[in-house]
Each structure stands twice: as structure tokens, then as C-alpha cells.
Amino acid sequence: MTKTPQLRTDIEQNRRTINELLFGAGSYKRLNNINWLRHEIAYVEPKTLFYVPNREQTPYLDYNSMKNIGDAYDFILSCPHTYIDSAEICKIHSMMCANTPIHGGKFRTTNKILEIIVNGQRMHAPDASQIASQMNEIIFNLHGNTDVMTRAFNVHYDLIALQPFDDFNKRTARMVMNWVLVQGGYRPIVFNQSTDKQRYKDAITEYANNNYKAYITYMASCMLRTQKSIIKLLNKSKVL
């Protein structure tokens, strides 16, 4: 995984490039950039990552659910400096669940077994009684002294491993991760390639099996890929 430091170097260079391309840009260029990210996160990413096993779960992947993701994305962009705590994460989850069968913004009261395999066994999420205390620990680490990317990638995994809600945990985790990135001056990450459906799950499993570098490398690669798409888009934009 020696390429991870190089990925971080490239990401920082691209971050500066994007800021330079947007500096002094007209509203058309900015709006074009924002709309592309919103479209990919709200409409393309769900179709790439979501698993709908039967017809009864079609509400999990319909226009309403995608609209909810877009609304949550708009929210994090409009509140970049909000202190992210358990209440704010519950708010994000509640927005994701609007007009769906899922009870949004409330911690689960039952126990869950995850899709993640550790040592040949399915991983158990912490007992429901432990959610509040573990959320406090996640929030503490989220606002620690480590760099922005590390904190963003960690909170993404930590929320998935905790499974604080009955459902929509992964999409909530991705939105919170992107909120942290936006607060730190980065652009959100999108998972919009066909290979992400399996690689995304594999990366989470790698983390659970103590292969943290593999997880970080995958997340950073997706971040770099997103940046390159933004730069390509901005270079093609024309200010009216």
C-alpha cells in the first residue's frame, strides 16, 4: 500500500487546482460543479451501491429516496460550519428517511448482524444499549487532531460498524463523511463506477479485518477519481 502517500499528495494538488479553477469563477461554473456532484451522489451512486433484494424494498431505491439524498446533500453544503454531533447525524438520517417506511432520526432498539465477514463469521453490531455511548466516542474522534481525510474516512466506517439506525446507515455514513470533507475544504466523494458496488463492500470488510491501509487506499482512490472528474468538468465550463 505504498501508493497511499502518493494518493494523498495528488489529492492535495487537485484540491489546490479545483480552488484555483473556481477562484473568481462566475455562477455558471460554480453551479455546474455543484449540480454534477449532487446528481452523482443523489441519483447515480444509489443505483451503483444499493442492494434491493425484493420488490417489497423498492422504496429503498426510488425517486423519493434519491430526492432525500439530494436534500441532505443540499443541507450539508448550506451548513458547512455546523458542529457535527449525534443530533446532527440523526438529522441527516431523518432527512434520508422522509416519506419512507424507515423511522428516521431514532437509534435502533434491536440488535443487528452486519454483512461484514470477520474471521469467517458475520460481524455483530454493538448492542443497542451501547449506541449512545459509542456515538459519543465517534463524535469525540471526529473532532480530534488528526487530518481531515482520516477523520472523514474513519467516521464513515465507524457509523457503518455501529449501525445506529434501523436502516440507511451506509448512506448516512457517506453523507456525514462528505460533510466532514466539505468542512475541511475538500469536495465530496462519489461512488459512481460499476466496480464500486463490490469494491466498496470489500474495503469496509478489509477495515473490519484490520487491513486499514486497504480501506484508506480505496477511499482515497475514489476521492482522487472524483477530483479528476470535477477538474475535467470545470475545464470544459464556459462562463456566460
Residue spans of the domains in the chain: they are 25-99+112-236
Lookup: cell for 150: 482520516
What is the CATH topology of the domain spanning 25-99+112-236?
Answer: Fic-like fold (1.10.3290)
| pLDDT at residue 110 in the model | 94
Q: What is the pLDDT of residues 180-222, one digit of tens each?
A: 999 999 999 999 999 999 999 999 999 999 999 999 999 999 9
Nearest to 148 by CA among 186, 175, 174: 186
- Report the pLDDT averaged over residues 21-27: 80
- Dihedral in degrees, nearest 10, Cα atoms 4, 17, 31, 46: -10
- Residue 128 and residue 150: Cα distance in Å, rounded? 26
- pLDDT one-digit tens code per residue, 109-164: 999 999 898 988 899 999 999 999 999 999 999 999 999 999 999 999 999 999 99
Encode pLDDT of 31-54 as tens digits.
888 899 999 999 999 989 986 555
How far is the C-alpha of 237 from the C-alpha of 230, rounded, in Å?
A: 10
**Confidence band (pLDDT; 50, 70, 90) for 1?**
very low
Residue pair 79/73 in contact by the 8 Å Cβ criterion: no
